[in-house]
Amino acid sequence: MPKLIGILTSGGDTPGLNAAIRAVGKSMTHKYNMKLIGIHDGFRGLMENRFTELDDRCLSGILTRGGTILGSSRDKPHKMPVGGKVLDMTDVMVENYNKNQLSGLICLGGGGTQKNAYRLAQKGLNVMTLPKTIDNDVANTDRTFGYDTALMIATEAIDRLHSTAHSHHRVIIVEIMGHKVGWLALGAGVAGGADVILIPELAYDEEIIAEAILKRRREGKRFSIVAVAEGAVSKKDYEAISADVRSNAPADLSEYKIGKQIQARLDLHFKTRTGILSQRLESLTRKETRVTILGHLQRGGAPTAHDRILATSLGTKCAAEVAAGNWGNMIAVKGSDMVPVPLEEVAGIKKFVPTDHPLIISAQDLGISLGI
């Protein structure tokens, strides 16, 4: 009787998820005599016991498809909304795993999924993960699949915005996904030739951005493109929120908890920040300004060839590690190798853009303003 291995996709969907599911499933059946069981809608499906066998027919024709054939959700095992309440459903998931006689569980996801998978591993389940997210912010891996596709979409959007910004002599602010990290905005900004790039890791000064735009005008360049990550924050906002939280925090609250509260307050209004920035720049530069929010377009559609290859290589390596019983790892990209990394070295850690990253230096050398 072949071993049964469950697989789920959790968190924001990402191009390349189906390519990864296909690679895991095909190599498991063709090479290792195991069966892959699809679990619907992330951890919710594990709790609700919604399982389907992924036979060869289900795995055919999905390599190029965007999204995930399994469905996804942002539900967490230990904080699951159930019947109007938020409950810890971890034990129910462990029960369903055992009831279905699974020998292991593969979780495909970003930072949140890695944490949740690690929690299940600590409960005794055999867990393996793959790093997927357009944000490219999973710790201990060079890359996540989905990033390249989103990068291509955002870059193409900046290319297209150039001609209209140029024709109307406007400032166009293009908001790119990434509410905590700036890999996508930085990458697309550089690839698309943006004039200003703003990322969450570097709090910006509106006056400095305005001066960069005005300098371009003095040089005869009558339009500017500002690529801004959705979580980029102005120094003023950061300082005001930080001072407010600190002055109202009880004395015994640790720095970590204060940091969390500041982040939560910043997150609360990150959806309106680009609009506020636009108004400020229009008044500082007296130039007509428009905002384009790329939003979920960046996660849609077919994966690039690069993401298909990455997801496939991670998937086949995952099947090999599962067959070897090397549980408790995420399969990471290290140079051209796919290697298992212990989940405790991934869970709860975010891979921010280092502020001295070569691409940041390169952008600055080109004269791109980072608003600092």
Residues labelled catalytic? 135
Write down the least CB distance from residue 333 to ligand F6P, Å.
18
CB half-sphere exposure, 162, CA atoms < 13 A: 14
One-letter amino acid for residue 333 of the chain: V
- Extract the tokens encoding 207: 């006056």
Given the complex with ligand F6P, which of 179 and 280 has the nearer CB atom?
179
Given the complex with ligand F6P, which of 12 and 340 has the nearer CB atom?
12
Write down the least CB distance from residue 105 to ligand F6P, Å.
21
- Extract the tokens encoding 349: 């850690």
Residues that bind ligand F6P (CB under 6 A): 11-12, 110, 133-135, 177-179, 230, 299
Given the complex with ligand F6P, which of 75 and 230 has the nearer CB atom?
230
Q: Where are the alpha helices (DSSP H) in the chain?
A: 17-31, 43-48, 56-59, 90-99, 111-122, 147-168, 183-192, 206-218, 235-248, 255-268, 270-285, 305-323, 358-366
* 8 A C-beta contact, residue 159 and residue 179: no
Helical axes 183-192 vs 147-168, angle rounded to 10°? 50
Write down the least CB distance from residue 289 to ligand F6P, Å.
23
* 8 A C-beta contact, residue 309 and residue 17: no
DSSP 8-state symbol, 297 = G
Given the complex with ligand F6P, which of 168 and 296 has the nearer CB atom?
296
Write down the least CB distance from residue 179 to ligand F6P, Å.
4
Given the complex with ligand F6P, which of 51 and 147 has the nearer CB atom?
147
Q: Which residue is nearest to ligand F6P (CB)?
A: 177
Full strand arrangement of the beta sheet holding 171-176? 196-198, 224-229, 171-176, 289-293
Write down the least CB distance from residue 282 to ligand F6P, Å.
25
Give the Cα separation of 230 and 228 in Å (integer).
6
Tell me the CA distances in angstroms from 72 to 12, 207, 304, 329, one per residue in order.
7, 41, 21, 21
Write down the least CB distance from residue 233 to ligand F6P, Å.
14
Convert 254-280 to b/e letters by CB count within 10 Å (16 or more is b): eeeeeeebbbeebeeebeebbeebbeb
Given the complex with ligand F6P, which of 178 and 315 has the nearer CB atom?
178
